[in-house]
Chain A
Amino acid sequence: MKTSRLSTALLIAYGIAILGFLYLPLVSVGLASISKARYLSFPIRKYAFGWYEDALTSDTVRDLLVISLKVAGVVTVASMVIGFFGALAFARYNWRFRKTYQKLILLPIFFPQTVLGLALLMWFNALGVVPSWKTAIIAHLVWIAPIATLVVSIRAFSFDAALEEAARDMGANQWQTLREVTIPLLMPGVTSAGLFAFLLSWGNFPLSLFSTGADSTLPEWLFAKMVSGYSPLVPTVGMLTVATSAVLVFGGLILAWAIRRLRPES
């Protein structure tokens, strides 16, 4: 089918408008981070990169980074493990309560995160647990592990059950079947689930707000500084946060590509 020149032009304009709408705000934050002024104002009169230097040498920022990384790191690994086994139960094996399980898994995703955060905070209090970055891991997992399970499930649904049966038929025990067939075949799903988990935890604000206690993650600090005590360090740290996500996503994509290329000879 051939589209007219006008509609092609309109489509391109529409696409550019959407991209602009999505990314211009980010560009403005980027610009703000290199403004020399102490307050956010446009147009920017004088540019300076000193704030990046400050951010990278600041102890506060380093502590924030360490906590955010610890939380996101543990959440990522735990989500990958939970997602892998969860997806097997979700998509691969038929068992009595599978339907109920499939619905229960989705439930936390439908809760507003603030409500979920509040509920968890009250629960931690009731149990006598002092909130810290460790409780934040639990809070993040309640919301992120189901998503990771769903991501791995997509892969698990396209899994030919005969592959595991064939392995067993040829003499593989359960562990060998898992190691030789199930894990390698679900690995792409588990990797994407891990990426998702990291990004969701890294950028999460509402759950962290309720569950970190005295500790603070990067998004929490950004919010607190916006509310009171703004400095150009805010957009700078914001940009660094975005950069970390971007590096991770592209790193993950490149890694996945490299693994695909190397596989037959492995």
Chain B
Amino acid sequence: MTDSSPPILRINALTKTFDDFTALHGINLNVRDGEFLAIVGPSGSGKTTLIRILVGMDEPSDGAVWLRGTRIDVVPANKRPTCMVFQSLALFPHRSVGQNIEFPLKLRGVAPAERKARALELLDTLRLPRDYYSKRIQQCSGGEKQRVALARALAFDPEILFFDEPLSALDYRLRKTLEKELKDLHRRTGKTFIYITHSLEEAMVMSDRIAIMKAGRFEQIAPAEEIYARPVSKFVAEFMGEVNFFDLVKGAAPGVALSAAASAALAGQTGTLTIRPESLRKLTAEGVADLSFEGIVTAEYLLGSRIQYRMTLATGQEMIVEVLRENAVEGGIGAALRVGCDLSAAHLIAEAADAAA
């Protein structure tokens, strides 16, 4: 990391082992003050274990966590200046909306009048009507519950706000709205957000940096664009969305026709070429590109403004191509298709990098 300011959170060689299973393999991570960091990984990658250790619900087997220079992994959860929005939201069903929001203030012994004023203020912040104060939790919709949970966490005024996939149970449109609201809230409050999700899309919309987890380790920690354009492993590349892989052995890739310039650039290299379906364009019989591919269309899928084709190359390899609707392939399934892309659109994962992962 090039940032010179001291990190708000420093995770050092954190390890968690259960009876016969290691969930976290000595991971390291620095989180900048005010950053929105998303930790993304498939289920079982250790992201939930990690967040539970960070908020104090679980103890690490080894390693340390530092918050602004204070070691916190030895501090009980109720004494840490952090707060989490749970996947289930964990709103108290026997308390009203107002009482839920005031809960952390009540624990601190804040006077009732002051508590109420703060709760109403937070309802404003979260764009909930003030008369929701006396509503029951059961009367709130899914999106409103999200906002109440957020208001409650903000009432705590944490140094770092953790999120454990709080949007995963919502329908698509509401999720999209709340993603934007959350990003907006992050900007307005200036707090450090650490967000756990299995949805990369969610992570990309909201976060400043994404940390991709796999089997208890970080595969790559970088801003979204960098992870998308330059994944360090096939796992990351596939996780970021559909992708085509071509094996490159000493500058030669079966199924890929290389231009003279591309040949020279890739000469002697070995690894995996990754090409995103949408960076490919249709080529005419005489068209030229750094990398070009020829095959027969075997399937087509309409994706709104784009069309995705699946084609089989002469080598037998399957390839995914995505083009704008106006560039649809004449003849559809069974038609011959020639596509290509620039060398800059094809990212090379060098052999060693993937072997290490």
Residues of B contacting A181 with CB < 8 Å? 92
A173 to B92, CA, bound (A): 16
Is B128 interfacial (CB-CB < 8 Å)?
A: no
Q: Given B57, B108, B134, which contacts A171 in the complex, CB threshold below 8 Å?
A: B108
Chain A residue at minimum C-beta to C-beta distance from B57: A165
Q: Are A173 and B103 in contact (CB under 8 A)?
A: no
Interface size class of chain B, counting residues whose CB lies under 8 Å from the partner chain: 20 to 34
Q: Are A172 and B90 in contact (CB under 8 A)?
A: no
Given A160-B88, A165-B86, answer yes or no on A171-B104 (Cβ-Cβ < 8 Å). Answer: yes
Is B93 interfacial (CB-CB < 8 Å)?
A: yes
Chain B residue at minimum C-beta to C-beta distance from A165: B57
**Which 4 residue pairs spanning A and B have beta carbons closest together?**
A166-B90, A162-B90, A170-B104, A162-B86
Residues of B contacting A263 with CB < 8 Å? 94, 136
Chain A residue at minimum C-beta to C-beta distance from B84: A169
Q: Are A169 and B83 in contact (CB under 8 A)?
A: yes
Residues of A contacting B83 with CB < 8 Å? 169-170
Is A53 interfacial (CB-CB < 8 Å)?
A: no
Residue of B87, B90, B93, B103 most packed against chain A (CB within 10 A): B90
Label chain A's interface by main secondary structure: helix
> What's the least CB distance linking B61 to chain A, in Å?
18
Q: A163-B92, A165-B77 are in contact. List 10 more A-B contacts (CB 8 A).
A: A160-B88, A168-B78, A169-B77, A171-B108, A172-B107, A180-B103, A185-B94, A263-B94, A264-B135, A264-B136
Residue of A170, A172, A185 most packed against chain B (CB within 10 A): A170
Residues of B contacting A166 with CB < 8 Å? 84, 86, 90
> What's the least CB distance linking A94 to chain B, in Å?
13
Residues of A contacting B56 with CB < 8 Å? 168-169
Residues of A contacting B78 with CB < 8 Å? 168-173
Q: Are B90 and A163 in contact (CB under 8 A)?
A: yes
Given A162-B90, A166-B90, answer yes or no on A176-B107 (Cβ-Cβ < 8 Å). Answer: yes
19 A-B pairs within 8 Å (CB atoms) are namely A162-B87, A162-B88, A165-B90, A166-B86, A166-B90, A169-B56, A170-B152, A170-B156, A171-B78, A171-B79, A171-B104, A171-B107, A180-B92, A185-B93, A263-B136, A264-B96, A264-B135, A264-B136, A265-B96
Residues 129-168 of B, flagged 1 when their CB comes within 8 A of A and 0 if not, give: 0000011100000000000000010001000000000000
Residues of B contacting A50 with CB < 8 Å? none
Residues of B at under 8 Å CB distance from A? 55-57, 76-80, 82-84, 86-88, 90, 92-94, 96, 103-104, 107-108, 134-136, 152, 156
Is A20 interfacial (CB-CB < 8 Å)?
A: no
A26 to B239, CA, bound (A): 71
Is A15 interfacial (CB-CB < 8 Å)?
A: no
Which residues of chain A (132-177) have a CB below 8 Å from chain B?
160, 162-163, 165-173, 176
Chain A residue at minimum C-beta to C-beta distance from B87: A162
A180 to B135, CA, bound (A): 19
> What's the least CB distance linking A266 to chain B, in Å?
9
Residues of B contacting A251 with CB < 8 Å? none
Residue of B76, B82, B107, B156 most packed against chain A (CB within 10 A): B107
Residues of A contacting B80 with CB < 8 Å? 169
> What's the least CB distance linking A183 to chain B, in Å?
10
> What's the least CB distance linking A141 to chain B, in Å?
29
A166 to B78, CA, bound (A): 9
